[in-house]
Structure formats: structure tokens, C-alpha cells
Chain A
Amino acid sequence: SQTIHQWPATLVQPVGSPLSLECTVEGTSNPNLYWYRQAAGRGLQLLFYSVGIGQISSEVPQNLSASRPQDRQFILSSKKLLLSDSGFYLCACRTGLAGVSYNEQFFGPGTRLTVL
């Protein structure tokens, strides 16, 4: 089964600084990859979705961007952080065809980002 790694685990950054969060997946190939943000310990917001290398779908307009330079690597970035970017960022992985939905997503341990 797949294992999802995220780093760093926690991050405190000043407003206006850049951001790079990394997610890597082991134990599978050609995964569908997702970035979520969870604010205030509750609701999950899908930020980005990728079905393959270089293929990124943005779900909401925001201050963030995503890239997938390798099959099992997914990076979340920002050029200038805002206070509202604070939250718990989760990477998830799903095997199977892009449009087929019955396979479950598996989640990484998350990155806690605090923007001051």
C-alpha cells in the first residue's frame, strides 16, 4: 500500500515570505494527487488536483500554486504568504483512473503552517 510523506511537519513563516511544501508518495505509480487546506480544525478545502506530471487543476483562486515535477512528487508553493494562508495542509493520493471515483484517497500526516 502507498505511503505519503509530507514535510515540513510544522512551519512558521512571516507575511510576504515564500512557501514550499513537499509531498512524496511511495508504493504506487501514476497516482492522482491532491492538496487540501483545513482551517480552524474542521472543513477541508480542495486546493489542487493532479492526474499526472505537469498536469495541475486549480480548484479555487488563491495565493498558492502547485507543481508536479515527478510522478510521485507534488509541491505546494507561494511567492508571498498572506495571513489567511495559515492552516493545516494535507496531501492525498488516489490510485486508479483519473475520472473513476470509487478508489479511496489516502492522506499524508499534514503540515501545520502559521503565517505571522
Chain B
Amino acid sequence: AQSVAQPEDQVNVAEGNPLTVKCTYSVSGNPYLFWYVQYPNRGLQFLLKYITGDNLVKGSYGFEAEFNKSQTSFHLKKPSALVSDSALYFCAEARGGKLIFGQGTELSVKP
């Protein structure tokens, strides 16, 4: 069974609107969770991570993510989307020195 799930293959947002990219995890205990972004034909870029502490994590390019233990979720958010945010986003959970990735969500921001 998939331990990291991104339920939406694609998310469409108008520029200037808030965006949310969803992620749920299934490990018990205290997970280490990550978000990455990938632009076409490029490697993945690290955005942010949750290790412990404050449930709201701030990252690069104005992105943030909220860890919710009761809902086992770690949704990526941004208050105001930019066209340049259009890319493929991956959620991941660390386990034993390795990352378990979700299947990715394509974010499209239209002007």
C-alpha cells in the first residue's frame, strides 16, 4: 500500500489565488515529511520539511505546509499563486535513510 498519497494528479489555479497541493501519509509515530518541486527536464528542488515542532512550516518561494497529525496530512500551500509556480510537486516521507515519494501533482497556474 502506498505510504504517501497525493490524491490529485493536477491542480489548476488562477494567478493571485491561494493554492493547495494535498498530501497524506500513513506511517505511525512521528514522520519526517518533505516537499519538492520539479520543473520540466530538471532535477527536484527541495522546498521545505517537517521534522518536529511547529505544525506550520515555511519554505522557499513563499510556500508553506501544514502538518496535521490527526488527519495524517501535510498539505502544501501558498497564499498567492504565480504563473511561475507551474510545475510538478512531490511530497515525500523519509524512512530508514530513504525517501518514499508520492506520485506527484501537476500544478498549473493560469494568468
Establish whether residues A100 and B43, one from each chain, have CB atoms under 8 Å apart when the complex forms.
no
Chain B residues numbered 49-77 whose CB sits less than 8 Å from any CB in chain A: 49, 51
Residues 92-111 of chain B: 1 if any A CB is under 8 Å from the residue's CB, otherwise 0? 00111111010110000000
Establish whether residues B43 and A107, one from each chain, have CB atoms under 8 Å apart when the complex forms.
yes
Which residue of B51, B96, B99 has the most chain A CB atoms within 10 A of its CB atom? B99
Closest Cβ of chain A to B63, distance in Å, is 14
A51 within 8 A of B: yes
Closest Cβ of chain A to B90, distance in Å, is 7
Q: Which residue of B lies closest to A9 (CB)?
A: B41
B34 cross-chain contacts in A, Cβ below 8 A: 104
Partner of A42, one of B32, B36, B49, B103: B103
A98 within 8 A of B: yes
Interface of B is mostly: strand
A86 within 8 A of B: no
Number of cross-chain contacts by CB at 8 Å: 55
A64 within 8 A of B: no
Size range of the chain A interface in the assembly = 20 to 34
Residues 15-43 of chain A: 1 if any B CB is under 8 Å from the residue's CB, otherwise 0? 00000000000000000101000000111
Q: Which residue of A lies closest to B43 (CB)?
A: A107
Apart from A42-B104, A43-B101, A110-B42, 19 more pairs, CB < 8 Å: A4-B43, A41-B88, A42-B88, A44-B90, A46-B98, A46-B99, A49-B98, A51-B97, A90-B43, A90-B44, A92-B44, A101-B97, A101-B98, A104-B46, A105-B99, A107-B36, A107-B43, A108-B43, A109-B43
Report 28 cross-chain contacts, Cβ distance below 8 Å, ordered by A residue: A32-B97, A34-B98, A41-B88, A42-B88, A43-B103, A44-B44, A46-B99, A49-B97, A88-B41, A90-B44, A99-B97, A100-B97, A101-B32, A101-B94, A101-B95, A101-B98, A102-B51, A104-B34, A104-B46, A105-B46, A105-B99, A107-B43, A107-B44, A107-B45, A108-B43, A109-B42, A110-B42, A110-B43
